[in-house]
Amino acid sequence: MDHIRVSKVEQMRLVRSGNNTEYMGTLHLTTHHMIFSAGDLELWIPYPMIHSAVLVRPPRRDSDDNIQAVYTEEQALEGSIRIRCHHFLFVTLRCTDIRRLYDVFATVKHLACVVSLEQLYAFDYRPDTADDAKAVEYDAHAEFRRMGVGVAGSVGQHWRVSEINREFQLCATYPPVVAAPARISDTTLTYAARYRSKARLPVLSYLHPNGVSMTRSSQPMVGLKQARSVQDEKLVEAIVATSEPTGMVPRFRNERNNIIIDARPTTNAVVNRAIGAGSENMDHYRQCRKVYLGIDNIHVMRDALNRLADAA
């Protein structure tokens, strides 16, 4: 609360990028959110979602100090705060009281700079009642049951829930509860994880009502010597088999409707072999074909995103 110079500003003007409509309403600045309301419009912006905020000062008038300068309402509207969010929301704020505009900018500048996780809203939120606490509770087992995982007679009957990652001992970036093919043991999962970068083995992300699944994993540790893992191959084969009524891949079938998607460009996947990683050798993965999406690394994508935002 120490950084909130102003908590409420009336007659604030807001324009969203892509929409030339100017809204006049009330701006509220709380500890964790910036809230703008005007009629039916209510816009909530969490401070951590703000990528940048730029203060555009109006031209100097009667004083060398912009803060002390005296502006008419028309002159004050030449100043603005341009806010760019990580989720492609761009807004411009204007106010007839230039001092109020400066106070809003100073508040946003301080509250958007999070220096510790404890400052985030999730650590500050306290439910009002026990019912509210229950409503926001996430139950991984219930979510998997909702998709039919482990339910006899359903499309997910060939899947099971595993707590192999309890206490995050297997993979630091996976949840404690994961879904794997029912015929694959936890021992096999452990060995398969050793073959994947950062132990991110193939696990279920989504199960469609028609039985087709979407799984995710990191790149395999192939390397220059073309290393392979029988456990990883068996795991992928079992994943493919879960969409079959019998839970087994037909022995004789030439169709390759199961796709391994590598988001990287082909060149990146090949180069990564030099550091012990790489991409799947399709000679060892039955009934599958591989597709490269050609998406560059995070640094190239970030630069592209910044250029796109600058052009908006």
Decide if pLDDT at 1 tops 60: no
pLDDT tens digits, 17-28: 877 789 999 999
Q: Count of CB atoms within 10 A of residue 235's CB?
A: 26
Please state, in angstroms and rounded to a whole number, the distance separating the CA atoms of residues 120 and 184: 39
Please state, in angstroms and rounded to a whole number, the distance separating the CA atoms of residues 244 and 93: 56
Please state, in angstroms and rounded to a whole number, the distance separating the CA atoms of residues 297 and 276: 17
pLDDT of residue 254: 55
CB 38 within 8 A of CB 24: yes
pTM surpassing 0.75? no
Both tokens of 289, joined, read: 């074909």
pLDDT tens digits, 153-189: 999 999 999 999 999 999 999 999 999 999 999 999 9
Q: In this prediction, what percent of the chain has a pLDDT beyond 90? A: 64
Decide if pLDDT at 297 tops 70: yes
Q: Count of CB atoms within 10 A of residue 256's CB?
A: 14
